[in-house]
Structure 1
């Protein structure tokens, strides 16, 4: 049976290499969102330290990730709200003894339990010298208090295959923490359209909702419009964004009506086709 969930997306101008400030800011917004009835709060990608891997402090701060994750678990339990704390950078020792870094998103339940995590698979080109992809690992959906959820991160949104694999595993809501700016467009393509990256996000997020009969919860960084896109939003098929921000700092809370997702599926029958034994692509929808 369809249900409605109160969801918050949070965005602010992340201070590079200042995890204490960013964590405090995030917790304050989460508390405010919970006071407005939010059942889920989602933060942006790189929300603790930003993406500045050439600074030695960035690697040091990546080793401090567990303490912040524990803090979010305690906050989730206290407020009885689910939290996706954007993404955090995790430092790992590889067999070669060379340290590697993953960009990881977690889903924390409203009782403080970590229900699942996801390491970014599609690494944006400038990130590739510094981050390690999850590679061939499958995209796996997670059972949560708000339904079956899939996690993606930023540039993953560009790949319909990522969505399809999550939908094939039963996800009805896809959550995407992001740090996407106007400068992700080269000077060459921005000469054609200075707002090409905003157009990319606006059109792609809604398209993914339609073509997968799913909801998308998208949280981006915010700040001055010359450097940030914002556009954090809660989007459904059929109706598009039910709530959307500009480049301002803050948060929005909106109702995510899953009856719309069910109506879209009855009309478009995407999941029904994915379940067919003679489905002509290699992925299948699991029986959920």
Structure 2
């Protein structure tokens, strides 16, 4: 049984220190409540605002915050997935800059066990963020078992999940910055809650179709500005275990019984089928369970 703290927080525009302080307070509360893992949303230190003149310079300080989360994880003896950072990397030889959207898995001793750069970029990111186009989706051994990490729009691609499942992932964590307005005027004209329907259906479907647990941690914010929240945790058989019903900031600690994952696999045999030599799709489940 894992106790997972899903932290749905509102990243105030360009207020890195204030946002970080609130995230730290939530994580300390999660650890005090007995949580094994705390998860933050995508771009939790600031909103994605590349047109702001300070955006790129602020993205150069990501390592300071990552180090701070490592120290906090060790102090509080809790694993942390610190949402995602907009990281500015500079090649010292060529002075070329590269901006990536990256998340980490930090264990309860403060060690970084996994790193993932977002592959499937949302459309506004593509002009300035470099995606991990040709890199495989990595899977990591952690105190919570084998974990895979995706970011936001990756959720829309079942191929990403299959690649992680093929490596043995049983828990997949998805920090997100997903708003109702992402459906655009076209989608919202059809259904103002279109992307809420999208999230609710997809998170549960991914859990069932991959016999895995899925943690989706979204940003909070004013509903009038298009924020939807709806952070949630899903497993096969049970569907959604816990969900934020509003877009308000807060934290939920969810008990996730990972035995359900094994029980679901014994019934659906998805990993077993993927492991067969004559499996008819590209991804094969190649690790022993």
TM-score (norm 1): 0.97
The answer to whether structure 1 residue 105 and structure 2 residue 111 are counterparts is: no
Q: 2:38 — aligned with what?
A: 41
Deviation for aligned residue 1:248? 1.7
Q: Please give the root-mean-square deviation of Cα atoms over the aligned residues, in Å.
A: 1.1
Partners in 2 of 1:20 and 1:233 — Cα distance? 26
Q: How many residue pairs are counted as aligned between the two chains?
A: 285
How far residue 283 of structure 1 moved from its aligned partner, in angstroms, is: 1.4
Judge conservation of contact 1:72–1:83 (CA < 8 Å) in 2: yes
Equivalent position to 1:190, from 181, 188, 191 = 188
1:7 alignment partner in structure 2: 4
1:137-216 aligned within 5 A: 137-216=135-214
SS in 2 for 1:89: strand
Q: Which moved more, 1:197-206 or 1:90-99?
A: 90-99
Match of 1:56, SS? coil
Partners of 1:223 and 1:144 in 2: CA distance: 31
C-alpha contact (below 8 Å) 2:166/2:287 kept by paired residues: no
Work out the CA distance in 2 between the residues paired with 1:92 and 1:69: 14
Displacement of 1:96 after TM fit? 5.9
User: Distance between the aligned counterparts of 2:232 and 2:35, measured in 1?
Assistant: 14
Pick from 109, 125, 128: which aligns with 1:127?
A: 125
Gaps of at least 5 residues in structure 2 are none
| 2:233 paired residue number | 234
Q: Corresponding residue for 2:259?
A: 259
Q: Cα deviation per residue 1:144-180 (whole Å; 9 max; x = unaligned)?
A: 0011000000000000000000000110000000000
- CA shift, 1:93, in A, is 2.5
Q: Distance in 1 between matches of 2:124 and 2:88?
A: 19
What secondary structure is seen at the aligned counterpart in 1 of 2:54? helix
Corresponding residue of 2:50:
53
Indicate if the aligned counterparts of 1:8 and 1:40 stay in contact, CA closer than 8 A: yes
Secondary structure at the residue paired with 2:241?
Answer: strand
> Alpha-carbon deviations, 1:76-135, whole Å to 9, x = none?
001100000000011112576431200000000000000010000000111101100001
- Cα pair 1:85 1:105 within 8 Å, conserved: yes
Q: 1-side partners of 2:106 and 2:263: how far apart?
A: 28
SS at match of 1:238: coil
1-structure distance, mates of 2:116, 2:42: 12
4+ runs deviating over 3 angstroms: 94-98
CA contact (8 A) 1:49 1:61 kept: no
Structure-1 residue corresponding to 2:283: 283
Name whichever of 168-177 and 183-192 sits farther off.
183-192
Task: Output the CA distance in 2 between the equivalents of 1:128 and 1:5.
Answer: 36
Deviations 1:205-252, CA, capped at 9 Å, x for gaps = 000000000000111001222321111111111111111112121100
Q: 2:137, 2:238 → 1: CA distance? A: 26
Look up the SS of the partner of 1:65 in the other structure.
Answer: helix
Unaligned runs of 5+ in 1: none
Cα pair 1:49 1:58 within 8 Å, conserved: no
TM-score by length of 2: 0.96
* Cα separation, 2, equivalents of 1:119 and 1:264: 30
